[in-house]
Structures are given as structure tokens and as C-alpha cells.
A and B are shown apart, each in its own frame.
Chain A
Amino acid sequence: MAEKTINRELANVINVRLNRQLLYYIDICTRCGLCKDACHQYVATGDVTYLPAYRAELIRRVYKKYFTRTGRFMPSLIEGREPDDRLLDELYRTTYACTGCRRCMYYCPFSIDTTWLLGVAKAMLLEAGRGSPILTELAGAAVMKGENIDLFKDVILESLKDTEKEVQQITGDASAQIPVEKTGAQAMYVALAGTHTILPVAVIFHHARLDWTLSLFEAANYGYFLGDNKLAKTIADRIVDEAKRLQVTQIILSECGHAYRVMKFLYEAWAKEKLPFEVKGIVEVMHELVESGKIKLKKDSIAEAVTYHDPCQVGRNAGFYEEPRSLVKAVSRDYREMTPNREKNWCCGGGGGVVAEPAMDEFRLKTGMKKVEQIRATGARIVVSPCENCRLQLDGLNEKYNLNIKISSLMDLVADNLVAQK
């Protein structure tokens, strides 16, 4: 096929995905460049190709060249570009680097959502057969697990038996359980692969006497990071179908930022259906359990200085600022706030699937500089963050920059500081 035709087809990927918001984003950016100070990747590298407006401009220039009058008649005026190899290479590098933190959207005077434009860029890359190989493999593995769950069920259940014993030891209750496939349970908890996301929650739920069941699947969704919405939906379908089958009234997602975003804000739009259950994050659930008195925390039990890192998908993109803080503050004697925080918090640099790309390790740790400065400034010894991606990155930063801190999940913090029930 002629190169021209291919390019046109690729450009058309933008056109078919156009909606009103995207049109605003394409039309109104003035290239003021104020987003430069918002992006941890630009700030840490000084490389203009990571400046949010620059990344978004790659998509804009292709769209304008093919679909606007200015672009058709005077492409040089807006520097219209074809989606050729050079552009796609640049797009690949800058798009899969984006952590999706949306800090640039916060600082944009027009609130242009660059990640949304980069979502279109990913669709274009996938159309050109240039999706991220590692994210494709991880997403593929998740789909494979969903299709062949009967093959894996036994090993999963077997490993859960060990975890269950630990729950019994910790709670001192030999009847404590990790229920699986329990039809009619009130809540289905969706953990991540790994006991560390199951054990503390099982302990908390046992204390709260919650009627729950554990999902056989993990919350993480690499199809979403890949930018393949169809694949992402298939991966999320595993959880949705399980929840429907078990007729639970709510699902509770583990401390996984993007998993919550996918289920809470994206799934219904993809599936064009309303979910018959409530979608909650473990952060808000733990907060509710404390507020309603179902679990009690040991007040001020941690003497070391503690700080809290707002994961972008828990804070800016989901609205949980005070709930996690109230839990952390309750158990800490010396709580210190990072600056800036909440909606202005710096991304740690680990979101968007970049932790899964070994080729990006060095870049990722370099772009965590702002977070390193923030943590150092607090002088805290413990950093709590309710997002697995953030914690993987914080672990990396801790090691590389000798921060000498302990990184804790919020689940562990709560589970370790429960007041025993009478």
C-alpha cells in the first residue's frame, strides 16, 4: 500500500475518535507552554519532547494537516505533519512515557487533558502495529488467565490456603477465612497479584466482620496502559463477569490507581451499560469502616515521622484526599505533609505502566527527582501511598537516592494498627 494511503488511514484514527472535548483540546491550545512546570518528566530531563504541549502537538499537527482548512491550505502555518515513521517513533517514546498523572491538565489554563490526546496517539500507534510489546504481553497474559481460569483456579486456591493461615495467626481466630467464589457476598475484593495485597485486607475485613469474597483476578489492567480500550475492556470484563455471577452489591478495588479509574470512570462508557454493583476503592472502604466504628485504629502508635504521597489516580483523578490522610494521621504521632500536595502533588513518576518497561528504568528513576526532593524536605521516615505503581517507583527511588525510608501501603498501615476486637 502506498505510504500516502497508510498515512491517511493513520490520521483517520484521530478523526474517528473525535469528540467534543477532544476538538476543544485540538483547537484551543495556544502553546503557551505553562504545562512545562507541571510535568515531572520535562522538569527532570529538560527535554522539550516531554513537554506536555509538545507531545499533544504531535497529534494536533497530524489532525490539522488532514482535517482542517488551515492545515490543508497552509500546512506550514501550523507545521502540519504526516504520521510517518519519524513522527510515530517520537510519539511512541513520549506517549508510552506519560504516566497519566494529569498534573498538566490541572495547570493548563484551559484544562486541556493531554493524556486524553495521548490516548488517541496510542490508538494510532496500535493501528500502525507499534504498541508497546511488553504491555501487549502483560495484557495478553491477563486475557489468557481470564479465558483459562479453570486451569489456574487450583493453584490460586492452594496458595490462598497459606495466606489464610497467616490471617488466622494474625487475628488469633482459627475460623478466619479468605472466601472465594462466594455467591451473594456483599462485596467482592479485587486484589493485585501477590499476597501483600490480600493479607492485610483479609485481616481488616475479618475485624470488620464484612461479608466479602475474593476475586480470582487481579485489578491491574495493562490493556489500559497499552491504550487498547477493547483489550482493556476484555480484561476488566473478567472482574465484571465474576461480580455479576456472584451477585455482589459492590466491588472493592485494591490499592491500584488505574484499576479504580478503569472501573469507576471508564468501564461503563466502554461497555455502554450500567454496572449492577457499586465500584469502590479500598481507601474509601477502610475510611468508612473506621468512621462507622467497625474497625478501630491504635491512635498515635507510630513514633517515626510519616508522610503521605497522593497517587494521581487516587487524588487528582478520583478525589480521595482527606480519607487516606485521616487514616494515616490517626495512627501517626508525627505526620508531615509534602509540599505541594493534594491536587498539586507531583507524580512519583511510576504511573502509566512505565514501571513495566525495563528500557525505561533509568528514565523513570530520573524523573522521580521532584518526588525525591519532596520526600527529603519532609524528613519523614515512612512514606505511605495507596497505589502499587507508586510504591514500586518509590521503592526504586528509595534505593537509588538512598532515601532511607520505609514505603508502606495504606492497607498495611491500617491492618498493622488495628485495635483487637473484644
Chain B
Amino acid sequence: MAGVMVYVAIAVFLAGTAYKIYHWIRAPRSSVRLGMFPRPENSFGRGLKLIKDSIVFPQVLDNDRIMWFFVIMLHIVGLGTFIGHMRMLGEFAPLYNWLGKDGMDTLSYIGGGSAGLILLVAVLYLLFRRFKAPYRDISVPEDYLLLLLILLIIMLGDHLRFFAHFDVTDYQAYMKSLITFNPAFPAAIAESGARWVLASHVFTASLLAIYFPFSKLVHFIGSFAANLVRSD
């Protein structure tokens, strides 16, 4: 079940995101230059500013340091976690050759484990922040729903990390089954009680991927475009 969901999720995510971008590009550019000053002299400067604004969030740092810390944590660690999951597709050879299987497992446990905890704290911060005025007054159900969904994904992931004790080879086998369009849990997972945790983790993550292009999460792409307007 969770297998089919993954395909649907990937398809909807890709098609939805592509449509969103098409929807943006189809609209005419504003005939007024909306940028503010000071603005960079050339396109190289604009590019640098774009990267800085979209990745370091200097305006947030200037405005609310605590928020900046958690937001940076959420985005950077979130990205790191996504990259970390890639190990399930196959080992990253240079690192694997250097550290060996045990070394990789330790790295993954420490890295993945701390990432899971940091994400948990960051999302909880964002969630509790929403219950406070004035943030409460500008929040809509979508905001809570997304945070709760992400929180659930993180909690399930943390459960797998700290309590399930599946080996990376089991995950790799599952991933392979997905890629070969023959989704199935390998024996080690299927026979474990924690299989429902993994299934739920995959399911909720798929839900997020499906909702992604239709939600405010498109800021993941749109913020780069919008921040380019800053120096237009």
C-alpha cells in the first residue's frame, strides 16, 4: 500500500511542481521594476545577493535571532537529512571506502540521530510560535496542518532511528524494490513490529510530497525567484 502511495506522491510532486512553475512563468512579468535599494550593479552581484538572501536569510537574522536559528536549523538540517536518506539508494563510495561499513553506520547514527532531534525541536518551536499572538492571528489551518504533518514524519523517522534498529541493507533492499517497481519490505523489516512505523513514515512523507506543490511550501522554489525581484 505504502508502495503505490510513493509512486503517486512522486508523480504528483513532480507534475504539481512543474505546473506551479509553468503557472508562474506563464504570467507576464511586472512592467514595473519592483526592486529596492541598495541594489547590485551587475548580474553577478545580483546572483550573489540572491544566494545570500535565499540561503542565509540575513534579514531574519537582523530581525529575530531565535527565529533565525530555528529556521536555519530546519532548512539546513532538513536538507542534510534528505541527502542522508540517499544512502538508501547506495553507499557514497569515497566516504564508504574511507570509513567502512561500521564507520558509516556510526556516522549515520550520530549525524542522522542529531538531525532528527534538531528537526524535532525546530518544528516544535515553529508550532508553538504559531499559538502565540500575533502569529496565531495570521495563521490559517494550512499552517498547523503542514507543521503537524512534518512533525509526524520527523517523529516516525526518529522512532525508526532510535528504536527500530533496521540495518541500512534492509532499507537499501526496500528502496531497490521501489525502484524496480516491485515494492515490498525485505524479510527483516516485514517481520519486525516496527514495519508499521516505517510504513507510516513513508505514508506521511508521501502525503507531504503530494500537498507540497499546492501549499505555501512552494516557497522552497519561489523564494529564489521572489528574492531576485528584491534587486530588480
A residues engaging B (CB < 8 A)? 18-25, 27-34, 36-38, 42, 46, 48, 51, 53-54, 57, 68-70, 76-79, 102, 105-113, 116, 265-266, 269, 272, 315-319, 321, 343-344
Contact = CB atoms under 8 A, between A and B. Distances in A.
Contacts of B24: 20, 23-24, 27
A31 B37 contact: no
Nearest to A119: B32
A407 B180 CA distance: 75
B200 interface: no
Interface residues of B, number: 48
A316 B35 CA distance: 9
B37 to A, nearest CB: 3
Contacts of A25: 226
A110 B134 contact: no
B134 A21 contact: no
Given A70-B142, A116-B34, A318-B37, 5 more contacts: A20-B29, A51-B137, A77-B145, A315-B37, A319-B38
B150 to A, nearest CB: 12
Contact of A321 (B27, B30, B38): B38
Contacts of A343: 36-38
B140 interface: yes
Most B CB within 10 A of own CB, among A23, A102, A112, A344: A23
Contact of B60 (A34, A42, A116, A265): A34
Contacts of A269: 30-32
A387 to B, nearest CB: 15
Interface string B128-170: 0000011101111111010000000000000000000000000
Contacts of A24: 24, 222, 225-226, 229
Nearest to A264: B33
Contacts of A57: 138, 140
B81 interface: no
Contacts of A22: 27, 30
B140 to A, nearest CB: 4
Interface in B176-232: 214-216, 218-219, 222-223, 225-227, 229-230
Interface of B: 20, 23-25, 27-34, 36-39, 53, 57, 59-60, 62-64, 67, 71, 133-135, 137-143, 145, 214-216, 218-219, 222-223, 225-227, 229-230
Nearest to A38: B63
Nearest to A21: B30
A66 B104 CA distance: 51
Nearest to A49: B137
A29 B217 CA distance: 9
Contacts of B216: 27-31
A54 B137 CA distance: 8
Contact of B219 (A30, A78, A265, A272): A30
Contacts of A30: 143, 216, 219
A24 B34 CA distance: 13
14 contacts: A21-B229, A22-B30, A24-B24, A24-B225, A25-B226, A31-B143, A32-B67, A32-B71, A70-B215, A77-B141, A107-B63, A111-B229, A265-B33, A321-B37
A114 to B, nearest CB: 12
Contacts of A109: 53, 57, 59-60, 71, 223
